């Protein structure tokens, strides 16, 4: 189970994270409020939280508040919450054809779903010592140990089974807009796929009455039929509504239902997943990021648990809604779909589609729109276009080294990437700001994420040495500072992964106070608390053989959204920003920072 940290540990960790962001006077005031909170109302809330957690052993203390936080948020999901991960191309170039890849990935996705539902999907396990635990022998033995003890058997060989409770929401699921708080909806009985093309909605069954998958050649035939349909884009594409403010969308949805569209919406909501087929090829990585993060708004249904997007040249990616689950579940899905569709593809470029009557099997959904709904769609489109217009996406690939060299120099690759972000921001804006790095707590039952706070007194000291006064320090001194940052970052990462961060605990206490109708404690009204939670640099990382790159929008209007990957011999970085920040310049500063760190580690200056 996810532990509730000790209150004194949480307060100490919180103050450590505040230190680099405040001057001495500000810090004194914040420290005083924190200690006061720890002895008084904080202690009472903490005891109540622990008691509540002991009464709810089937879940974790963060589950309820975290779902609530996502589902109560009224901002549009697109750019604010939904993230994307794009697939690598199929290694066999002739398989990167839109129809072939769409068929193969759809088949693999359904195989994954059926395997998962049948209880045959291999558990997600984090192997700290893979030589011992990631072996056929271990898998054979552990299979016969009762589940109440099997986790202990795994633990004995340093293998940690991860929570998979989010996985069922991958399929047949959607986020329904409701006033004040949205709802998650899942209908596992539905057998159809939703396909979007040119803003038109199509559905066809991919499972038969007995739950068996349609033949791949039939799926290919139906997709071919949709790709050859030359219906124009509707004058009022419904997809834009899912990019609206949630309350606005909730009332428009009610009008849609009242106007005779309940059945069509039901088909959209319950579909196995949403396959979005785009009618253009990808020009470059920036175009790829824009396409996968938001696209044109007409050819997406942002409320579905995920949209599988495939463009004209067979480039594929996933855009996923974030309330139901985190990157780890989506990544496992993508890894399996990539592996299955490339290693054992269901159809080949030579395959002929089945001779079936697709015009009968494929249903095009029609929506009845009155003037108010048409006006609502027009307004949603205007807002969407304006938001997307304001967003910049840029990226770099640093080719002068990666994980291999850093490990050889005994420093943490993730710590070096995070240090580069701190140095870059200092170089560009001459300050240290609140920074967020996401860390999965899936090692615990119903764990979600915890925050790593990469901005520390160590990164501040190191950044200032590199940026402001490099000539004052010898290479050895600079190396020592980098190693210090790496050690501290390693400690923070380990704490977060073990459920020993401070962010979720403080969030849970605050949520508890508000749910009991108590006045918000002074601690939470401190400007420094608000500033720490205004994450100007928001970061997330993943590396996988299936994924080319991933990204998300900034979480605050004056922030950066940083998706990054540290590979064996290079580092990739993808930055989103709004006009108040210059993302291109930030990336140039990151590049320069990485160059400086690598030179110092190599003994050059």
Instruction: Give the SS3 label for residue 198.
Output: coil
CB 11 within 8 A of CB 37: yes
The distance of Cα 599 from the centroid of its chain, to the nearest Å, equals 32
What span, in angstroms and rounded, lies between the C-alpha atoms of 277 and 366? Answer: 18
Distance CA 226, CA 359 (A): 9
- How far apart are alpha carbons 592 and 15 in whole angstroms? 31
Q: How far apart are CA 274 and CA 199, in angstroms?
A: 12
- Which residues on neighbouring strands pair with residue 396, listed in sequence order? 573
CA–CA dist 354, 221 (Å, integer): 6
Report d(CA 337, CA 546) in Å as an integer. Answer: 9
Contacts of 385 (CB under 8 A, 6+ apart): 297
- Partners of 203 in the β-ladder: 194, 363
Give the span between the Cα atoms of 529 and 23, in whole angstroms.
14
Give how far the C-alpha of residue 433 lies from the chain's centroid of Cα atoms, to the nearest Å: 22
> For residue 217, what is the enclosing H or E element?
helix 216-227
- Extract the tokens encoding 24: 């001495």
Q: Strand, coil or helix: what is 135? A: coil
**H/E run at residue 48:** helix 41-55
What would the two tokens of residue 536 be?
């100007």
435-440 β-sheet, strand order: 392-398, 571-577, 560-566, 537-541, 435-440, 449-452
| Coil vs helix vs strand at 74 | coil
Quote the tokens at residue 202.
Answer: 């199509």
Annotation says 192 is catalytic: no
Q: Which of 294, 322, 458, 505 is catalytic?
A: 322
Catalytic sites, residue numbers: 322
């Amino acid at each position: 189970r996810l532990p509730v940290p000790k209150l004194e540990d949480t307060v100490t960790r919180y103050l450590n994270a505040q230190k680099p962001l405040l001057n001495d006077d500000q810090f004194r005031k914040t420290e005083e409020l924190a200690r006061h909170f720890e002895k008084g109302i904080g202690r009472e809330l903490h005891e109540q939280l622990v008691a509540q957690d002991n009464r709810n052993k089937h879940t974790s203390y963060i589950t309820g508040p975290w779902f609530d936080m996502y589902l109560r948020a009224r901002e549009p999901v697109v750019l604010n919450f939904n993230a994307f991960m794009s697939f690598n191309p199929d290694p066999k170039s002739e398989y990167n054809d839109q129809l072939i890849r769409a068929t193969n990935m759809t088949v693999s996705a359904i195989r994954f779903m059926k395997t998962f539902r049948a209880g045959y999907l291999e558990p997600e396990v984090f192997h700290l010592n893979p030589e011992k635990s990631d072996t056929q022998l271990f898998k054979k033995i552990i299979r016969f140990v009762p589940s109440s003890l099997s986790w202990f058997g795994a633990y004995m060989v340093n293998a940690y089974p991860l929570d998979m409770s989010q996985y069922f929401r991958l399929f047949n699921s959607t986020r329904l807009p409701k006033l004040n708080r949205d709802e998650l909806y899942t209908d596992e009985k539905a057998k159809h796929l939703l396909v979007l093309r040119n803003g038109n909605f199509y559905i066809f069954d991919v499972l038969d009455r007995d739950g068996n998958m349609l033949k791949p050649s039939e799926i290919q035939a139906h997709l071919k039929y949709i790709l050859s349909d030359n219906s124009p884009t509707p004058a009022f594409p419904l997809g834009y509504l899912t990019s609206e403010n949630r309350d606005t969308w909730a009332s428009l949805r009610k009008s849609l239902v009242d106007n005779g569209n309940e059945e069509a919406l039901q088909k959209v909501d319950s579909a196995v997943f949403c396959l979005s087929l785009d009618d253009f090829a990808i020009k470059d990585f920036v175009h790829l990021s824009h396409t996968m993060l938001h696209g044109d708004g007409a050819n997406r249904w942002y409320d579905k648990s995920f949209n599988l997007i495939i463009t004209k040249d067979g480039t594929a990616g996933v855009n996923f809604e974030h309330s139901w689950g985190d990157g780890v579940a989506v990544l496992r899905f993508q890894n399996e779909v990539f592996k299955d569709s490339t290693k054992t593809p269901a159809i080949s470029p030579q395959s002929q589609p089945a001779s079936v009557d697709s015009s009968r099997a494929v249903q095009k959904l029609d929506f009845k729109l009155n003037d108010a709904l048409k006006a609502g769609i027009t307004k949603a489109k205007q807002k969407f276009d304006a938001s997307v217009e304001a967003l910049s996406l840029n990226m770099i690939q640093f080719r002068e080294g990666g994980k291999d060299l850093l490990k050889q120099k005994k420093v943490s690759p993730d710590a070096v990437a995070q240090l580069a972000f701190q140095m870059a921001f200092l170089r560009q804006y001459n300050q240290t700001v609140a920074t967020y790095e996401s860390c999965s707590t899936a090692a615990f039952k119903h764990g979600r994420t915890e925050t790593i706070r990469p901005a520390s007194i160590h990164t501040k000291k190191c950044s200032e040495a590199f940026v402001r006064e490099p000539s004052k320090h010898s290479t050895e001194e600079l190396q020592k500072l980098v190693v210090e940052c790496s050690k501290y970052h390693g400690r923070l990462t380990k704490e977060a992964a073990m459920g020993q961060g401070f962010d979720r605990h403080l969030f849970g206490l605050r949520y508890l106070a508000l749910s009991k109708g108590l006045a918000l404690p002074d601690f939470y009204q401190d400007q420094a608390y608000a500033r720490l939670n205004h994450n100007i640099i928001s970061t997330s990382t993943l590396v996988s053989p299936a994924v080319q790159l991933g990204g998300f929008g900034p979480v605050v209007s004056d922030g950066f959204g940083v998706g990054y990957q540290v590979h064996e011999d290079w580092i990739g970085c993808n930055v989103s920003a709004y006009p108040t920040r210059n993302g291109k310049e930030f990336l140039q500063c990151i590049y320069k920072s990485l160059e400086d760190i690598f030179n110092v580690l190599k003994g050059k200056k």
